[in-house]
Amino acid sequence: MKFIGKALLTLLVLLILLIVALYIAAQTRWGAARISNWVTENSSWTMTLDGIDHSLSTPSRVTLQNVSLAPKGQQPVLSAREMVLDFGVQQLTAPRHFSGLLLRDGALNTHNRRSPLPVQADTLRLQNMLIAADNGDWNLRATQVDGGVTPWQPTRDHALGSNARFQFSAGTLTLNDIPAQNALIQGAVENNRLRLNNLGADVARGQLTADAEQQENGSWLVNNLRLSGVQWQTAQTLEQLKDRIQHLPDVTLGRMDVTGAKLVGPAWALSDLDITLQQVTLHNGDWQSEDGSLAFNASDIVVGNLHFIDPIVSTALSPAGIDIRQATARWEGGLLRADGNWQRADRRLTINDAAVVGLEYTLPQNWRELWQQPLPSWLNELILTKFSGSRNLIVDINPDYPFQFTAVDGFGNNLMLVKNGRWGIWRGGFTLNGSEATLNKTDIRRPSITLKADDGQITVTELSAFAGKGLLEGTATVGQQESRPFALTLNGRAVPSTVLAQWGWPAIPLSGDVNLQLSAAGRLQAGTPMKPTIGATLHAQDGNGQQVTQTLAGGELQAAMPQAQIPEAQQPAGE
């Protein structure tokens, strides 16, 4: 019996020594290598490990040194200078589920197309970690991350698990190429739905705060979003930004406030921008709203060659469209003011009351081409119910035919300026007059025009101006057909004989002041030369009774009728 007792005691001592030896060996580099090799050979993961630390004062805790985990054949999902594992009774039934897990000084890649980490924990803590994630819609990279998740049970589609609470802070954070600093994120995951109770960060020299939640269909509800003092510069054009927005998940904004923002990109900029946007859903680049609103103001808005100063806009949004309650801005030295509405169903923009005061505008060189270009799909019709203008200056510096109208006043009503996505004067009437004008280097005074339009044609009922000592008066019609047929009648009394030559008519063999009668017809069809379509007749008479008749056919001058002298009684008045 004594022998058996001694043998059992010896075996026990040897077992204890073996356990101690294994305990000591496991904490050596050789032991760590053996353990990492065993994991690699018996799982779908590749593991590297430099060392294992354990203290008898905390028997349930093991620290792994310089650990790395990667799905076989892929880049590491996890690397950390230290991984601290807290064991609990759950290891008896779930060996990979730990009471606590601490990752320190490393990187964690939660790309959803990679396998989730093969461990879980009641509590995951991060200290000075780098986090990278890319799920297609969101590309995230964060450094100096501290925080925790309770509990942490990652899956392939959800790096945080399906039900968890979390809090993180990051020194730097980049989301979809938008950088931020000093970020704080608090929230929870409930049945695979992500909720951000508190999101804050320094973004583009400003501050961002928000709370939001992801819906079951993948869309987002942003209850509150506030951007203050943001100064953001990008290399993307407005079209590129619009394209990126179209590819984002659906977003519903409960309320968004932007204050003191400055946004700059190629050929566009917004300065001192304030925005309040409420109850709007963004879907595939379009918007929807049941009872929303948009109000904004800025010191400057630049889009291409357009520069608006102090714009102020206030609107109400509904399923029917946009109610424009107020829209004012300074542009090209003048003041613009309007109100109206845009209807979604027929894409009609109706301006109830528009005013243009003090404008000093130089037309772009290609304004005729711009007039013919198709308009954006959202604008099918444009109607000005009431229009007024005063003290405006309009200039065209095109060397082929420069002109300038000074102190232009006018008013109009029920004008349709866009129909089926094309510019024109399709309906309504207006009157414009100015103090002076220059048409191709020829000065005139008091130019005035009155016209009305319907589906058939544009009728110029009054066209007049003073030229030299005399007066020009005329009428005209322009058809609304695609060929744009026009007819013009122009009468002049005691006007300079050179006045029409400056405007494209062949010179007449008379001098001084003349009386004239011009009748012309042709076509103004877009994309085709006008001159070959013109047929016209001019009769002119000078103060000495000399007269001439000229005829144009196909835009070319025919032989002029012989000059003749008429009795003095029939000479032009005032001569």
Q: State the pLDDT at residue 136.
A: 60
Q: Which residues contact 37 (CB under 8 A, 6 or more apart)?
A: none
What does the CA dihedral 364, 378, 284, 200 come to, rounded to 10 degrees? Answer: 60
Longest dimension (CA), the chain: 164
- The H or E element spanning position 17 is helix 2-26
- pLDDT-derived band at 284 (thresholds 50, 70, 90) equals confident
pLDDT band at residue 351, thresholds of 50, 70 and 90?
A: very high
Q: What confidence score (pLDDT) does residue 63 get? A: 85
Q: What is the pLDDT of residues 354-410, one digit of tens each?
A: 999 999 999 988 888 888 888 999 999 999 999 999 999 999 998 888 999 999 999
Query: For the segment 227-276, what is each residue's pLDDT rounded down to a tens digit?
Result: 999 999 989 899 888 888 887 788 999 999 999 999 999 999 999 999 99
**Residue range 21-46: mean pLDDT, rounded:** 68
User: What residue type is assigned to position 552 of the chain?
Assistant: L
Say yes or no to pLDDT of 444 above 80.
yes
- Tell me the domain boundaries of the chain: 467-575
Q: What is the mean pLDDT of residues 109-136?
A: 80
CA 262, 301, 377 angle in degrees (round to 5)?
A: 115
Per-position DSSP letters for 264-302, written without gaps between them: EETTEEEEEEEEEEEEEEEETTEEE-SSEEEEEE-SEEE
Residue with tokens 């004989």: 497
Contacts 24+ apart (CB under 8 A), 363-371: 363/394, 363/395, 363/396, 363/397, 363/398, 364/305, 365/397, 365/398, 367/396, 371/423
How many whole angstroms separate alpha carbon 6 and alpha carbon 409?
Answer: 121
End-to-end CA distance of the chain: 157
Beta bridge partner(s), residue 409 = 433
Bridging pattern class, strands 100-109 and 78-86: antiparallel
Which of 12-16, 155-159, 424-428 has the least mean pLDDT? Answer: 12-16
CA distances from 173 to 113, 146, 273, 275 (A): 21, 12, 24, 25
Rounded to 5 degrees, what are φ and ψ at 185? -130, 125
Strand ranges (E), 333-441: 334-343, 348-357, 360-362, 381-396, 403-419, 422-433, 436-439
Give residue 313's pLDDT.
97
Q: pLDDT per residue over 456-472, tens digit each? A: 999 999 999 999 999 99
Q: Looking at residue 177, what is its pLDDT? A: 77
Give residue 571's pLDDT. 43
Does the pTM of the predicted model rise above 0.85? no
pLDDT tens digits along 491-529:
999 999 999 988 888 889 998 999 999 999 999 888 788
Residue 566 has pLDDT above 80, yes or no: no
Q: Which two tokens stand for residue 359?
A: 């404008």
Element (H, E) at 161: none
398 secondary structure, DSSP code: -
Partnered with residue 283 across adjacent β-strands are: 286
pLDDT at res. 323? 97
Express each pLDDT in 5-24 by its tens digit: 555 545 554 454 444 444 44
Q: What percent of the chain has pLDDT over 70?
A: 90
Residue 59 has pLDDT above 70, yes or no: yes
Q: Give residue 573's pLDDT band: very low, low, confident or very high (50, 70, 90).
A: very low
> What are phi and psi for residue 571, nearest 5 degrees?
-70, 160
- In the block, residue with structure tokens 């420069």: 402
Please report the pLDDT score of residue 115 as a whole number. 60
pLDDT at 527: 78
Percent of the chain with pLDDT over 90: 57
Nearest to 396 by CA among 370, 364, 360, 373: 364
| pLDDT score of 295 | 97
**The pLDDT of residue 21:** 44
Containing 456, the helix (H) or strand (E) segment is none
SS3 of residue 24 by DSSP: helix
Candidate from 53-67, 144-158, 380-394, 487-501 with smallest mean pLDDT: 53-67
With H, G, I as helix, E, B as strand and everything else as coil, classify residue 123: coil
Sequence letter at residue 328: T
Six-digit token string for 389? 């203008």
